Amino acid sequence: MAAAAVVSVSMGVMKPVLSKLATLMGDEYKKIKGLRKEVTFLQRELGDMDALLENMGQR
């Protein structure tokens, strides 16, 4: 019986912790996803700038 009570208390403590962890992980995923879009945009911009500079250098 005492073991069941300990398990019950442990489960009661773990559920809010796991819920908070899931929320934090979701927030971090959103940040990374947004950052990935920004990096892709910057890669394209730098590629365009490089092409422009190369074109200007050939003139």
Q: What are the tens digits of pLDDT across the range 6-17?
A: 777 778 888 999
- pLDDT at 54 (0 to 100): 93
- pLDDT at 4 (0 to 100): 74
- pLDDT at 1 (0 to 100): 66
- Which regions in the chain score pLDDT beneath 50? none
DSSP string, 7-59: HHHHHHHHHHHHHHHHHHHHHHHHHHHHHHHHHHHHHHHHHHHHHHHHHHHT-
